[in-house]
Amino acid sequence: MGAYYNAGGVVGAVCHGPVGLLTLKDADGNPVVQGKKVTCFTNAADDSIGLTAPDKLPFYLETRLKEQGAEFVVEPEGNLWGACVVVDGNLVTGQNPASATGTAEAVVKVLGGKKKQKKKKKKKKKRKTQ
């Protein structure tokens, strides 16, 4: 997945799914989340349902993302269960299950933007060759 992401592929994850981002590195060997705005199931949400670290979870995902240099974003009103979707370039993350639909829609939107960019590049190439 790291090669796909580094080639400009769109990566999306919701709730605890961003755990899959923790092992990904950018082209320079840095965590892909470093300097990126991201979200996931928050430490507070884990605590509220009894998933405390380290007894029930090996670690808190929010904390680990921050440790890797991510700029962590939470639902603006602090609602643990409110939808919150964050797009930063080709990385799309959702805070919790309520964010699943919005995250999928954001991925589709980012993919659509990439498709338009490819079409523009093809048109420019045609003009240059004519």
Does position 130 have pLDDT exceeding 70, yes or no?
Answer: no
Pick 41 or 128 by higher pLDDT.
41
Q: How far is CA 104 from CA 12, 97, 130, in A?
A: 8, 12, 40
Q: What is the distance, to the nearest Å, from the Cα of residue 120 to the centroid of all Cα atoms in its chain?
A: 26
Provide the pLDDT for residue 85: 98
Provide the pLDDT for residue 65: 98
| Pairing label, strands 91-94, 85-88 | antiparallel
Q: What whole-number distance in Å separates Cα of residue 49 and Cα of residue 92?
A: 25
What CA dihedral angle connects 97, 13, 61 and 22, to 10 degrees? 170
Does position 69 have pLDDT exceeding 90, yes or no?
Answer: yes
Residues 116-122: what's their mean pLDDT? 59
Which residues have CB under 8 Å from 126's CB, separation 6+?
Answer: none
